[in-house]
Structure 1
């Protein structure tokens, strides 16, 4: 899930935190690096195995691991950074990347080999100042469809290379009319749906300069579309939509079979398919025109590895990050747990060994490579507040407490006030 709160970073504290030695190591050539990440128990086990493999090849480098639950991760990291005690290596999320990078708290990772990465994947971790996050898994936003519910409703799966938003609305209504205990479509997860919408209308969530990259009219049309869907019976009522947004994926209406379609990030589809007991279909997004490439897909980093600007071992930190993303040993261990490997050669290596939902994700990622739109700029500083703001005004529209126009104006103004 994306962050729901700002980590409370202090610009002065972060700038001070970036003023570590930035050089060298101990006199005997040995180095000890701290590494922090969040994730499931499976991720913890995988990561420790990768650390063990790295230490076997680099006996002079020791990695001290720390892992946390998502809740509290960012508050803890902000506290450590402000106290000039940031971990050497940090698992990073895109909504926080600029907040740390622009305040001088991250190391430019110019020595990490990204030659086998698609350019938009590299750019997702780059600001004007340099490369501050190296992608360790790639996702794409996808429309997950339940083929069992389509069959039950007597509706064919759409041709996802040509369908339009009008098609999406009509199909959702037809599904809803023909299903007894389910709706045609559900909520749009996190900011991904809104990002897709504004990309298809020539904008971005954030601009390259770290400002808002969309207009009030984009937000208004987005809210209007959802309100029309709800009024037509294509999606659940506001109360159910709001509740579904607040639960984990394994408790969502997608998993319980209460919606036939709903957008998710591609890496989430594996666990959701397993929880639902159905191999869900990964579909491209509709677009305004239905023309090839008009859906404007992009590769999103599921997460990054960053390094502290204050690390005493910048070369070794980058050596570990390079091993994590480019070595066969690491990729064979982590496989698709953090998303599909960004290194094209490593992706091909593991794809031959994947099956079921994991294989479907790998095939989907490969299938849209030739259709990718522009890179999605690194979110603006303050962008970690955007999901909460979007959720709140989305609810205001669906509960009909605000008009789409008023909600769009208010949301834009509030997001703009958060940009630093």
Structure 2
């Protein structure tokens, strides 16, 4: 499944209702760089996402500049795939923005190459206020014992479905402890009623590791030097199941999937062609707010879904090592995660807020769709297992390898068994190369 995340010059999914009220006190202005009161400071910040995220992030920036009139912030934004294509040459030229939005798949890569600054000093001197953020939430941004990125919110994997479409297809919504067999059986009924299952194709770099976790296995070994699952049976079982769905036309054909940009507006659930879509909880709102029918959040199938499910940092903000205004950049990130007024604009788009004070302040203000996300995360907190460590360097190459391999399976260029062996061999070679 694509990241339901969106459009160059736009920015992403979720909550955009704006209200205003005073937030908590900010950390003392300045710090090391740009610290003299009133001294002009210029920052660049980059993120990925869709129009909703773009709009409210610019409003948050405007709010920050109103409170800090000496600071001017330039914004850069793109769709998820285009974002990383743009960031890579900037990193190579040592011209990264001061603040970059970071994904867990890339965190080890950028941190391991020395391109991100350790934020620990700023948490210790008060520039970055972490007093209402739990150690677990903070640890999601640690690499090698250093805080390389600030967790902006918590997500969990989910299935989002349209109860009305299910009813029209004669299908009863499944219980929370449903299984992959239930998923397949619903797919058969959906197809008979002219519907698909899946508003987007599965993004295998997300859902295959989930499947492995339900089997008490991991995508990567503990030291990141090789594939983590002991033999190829999980790969074979997962992709045999997926190929069955694809061949039965339960899912969108690859050629049509390739034409999508990943925006909420393209979701087949909204178009009335699919019963549900699968993704991260923070992606729910952009689709739900566009739907004519109320949508519901639901856990992914099991068995052992509680072992597969985990609370994930939805994304991060990191300060780059090339920045000449690190302290001022850290101060903006602190504002972003702690200021109540700002978070009335953000309201969970980048995941349920990590600040307990912000979370409590937002609860009375949530729309029904926003409240569903907060409630689902609260449920997931009690029905999940600890997340895996950040992906090792080389994981992005392996994600592409997995995507390419899955297409070879679905186009019948490789048997599942041959694909499993090929994937293991090439993935291990990538990990070994990056361990040198």
**TM exceeds 0.5?**
yes
- 1:198 aligned counterpart, secondary structure: helix
Q: 1:406 is matched with which residue: 403, 408, 418? A: 418
Distance between the aligned counterparts of 2:182 and 2:50, measured in 1?
A: 38
- 2:171 aligned counterpart, secondary structure: coil
Distance between the aligned counterparts of 1:251 and 1:166, measured in 2?
A: 28
Aligned-residue offset at 1:37: 2.5
Deviates more, 1:44-53 or 1:112-121: 112-121
Aligned-residue offset at 1:151: 0.7
- Tell me: CA distance 1:83–1:156, structure 2 relative to 1, closer, same or farther (3 Å): same
- Tell me: CA distance 1:348–1:54, structure 2 relative to 1, closer, same or farther (3 Å): same
Q: 2:253 is matched with which residue: 227, 230, 240? A: 240
Distance between the aligned counterparts of 2:113 and 2:362, measured in 1?
A: 37
Matches within 5 A, 1:265-414: 265-289=280-304, 293-294=306-307, 296-414=308-426
Aligned-residue offset at 1:27: 8.4
Distance between the aligned counterparts of 2:72 and 2:228, measured in 1?
A: 39
Matches within 5 A, 1:13-52: 24-25=32-33, 28=36, 30=39, 31-52=41-62
Partner of 1:202: 216
Partner of 1:134: 150
Partner of 1:74: 84
Aligned-residue offset at 1:196: 1.1
Aligned-residue offset at 1:41: 4.0
Q: Compute the TM-score of the two structures, normalised by the length of structure 1.
A: 0.83
Aligned-residue offset at 1:165: 2.1
User: For the Cα contact (< 8 Å) 1:150–1:260, is it kept in 2?
Assistant: yes
User: For the Cα contact (< 8 Å) 2:54–2:77, is it kept in 1?
Assistant: no
Matches within 5 A, 1:159-198: 159-160=175-176, 162-177=177-192, 179=193, 181-184=194-197, 187-198=201-212
Q: 2:96 is matched with which residue: 81, 86, 102? A: 86
User: For the Cα contact (< 8 Å) 2:409–2:419, is it kept in 1?
Assistant: yes
Distance between the aligned counterparts of 2:221 and 2:68, measured in 1?
A: 40
Aligned-residue offset at 1:380: 1.9
User: For the Cα contact (< 8 Å) 2:33–2:326, is it kept in 1?
Assistant: no
Distance between the aligned counterparts of 1:167 and 1:55, measured in 2?
A: 51
- Tell me: CA distance 1:228–1:120, structure 2 relative to 1, closer, same or farther (3 Å): farther
User: For the Cα contact (< 8 Å) 2:198–2:268, is it kept in 1?
Assistant: no
Q: 1:108 is matched with which residue: 92, 112, 118? A: 118
- 1:371 aligned counterpart, secondary structure: coil
Distance between the aligned counterparts of 2:332 and 2:243, measured in 1?
A: 48
Distance between the aligned counterparts of 2:96 and 2:4, measured in 1?
A: 20
Note if 1:250 corresponds to 2:250.
Answer: no
Distance between the aligned counterparts of 1:378 and 1:387, measured in 2?
A: 14
Distance between the aligned counterparts of 1:227 and 1:44, measured in 2?
A: 36
- 1:352 aligned counterpart, secondary structure: helix
Deviates more, 1:68-77 or 1:374-383: 68-77
Aligned-residue offset at 1:328: 1.1
Partner of 1:16: none
**5+ long unaligned stretches in structure 2:** 6-30
- 2:278 aligned counterpart, secondary structure: strand
Report the count of equivalent residues: 392
Partner of 1:263: 278
Aligned-residue offset at 1:283: 0.8
Distance between the aligned counterparts of 1:226 and 1:26, measured in 2?
A: 53
Distance between the aligned counterparts of 1:24 and 1:217, measured in 2?
A: 54
Aligned-residue offset at 1:156: 1.2
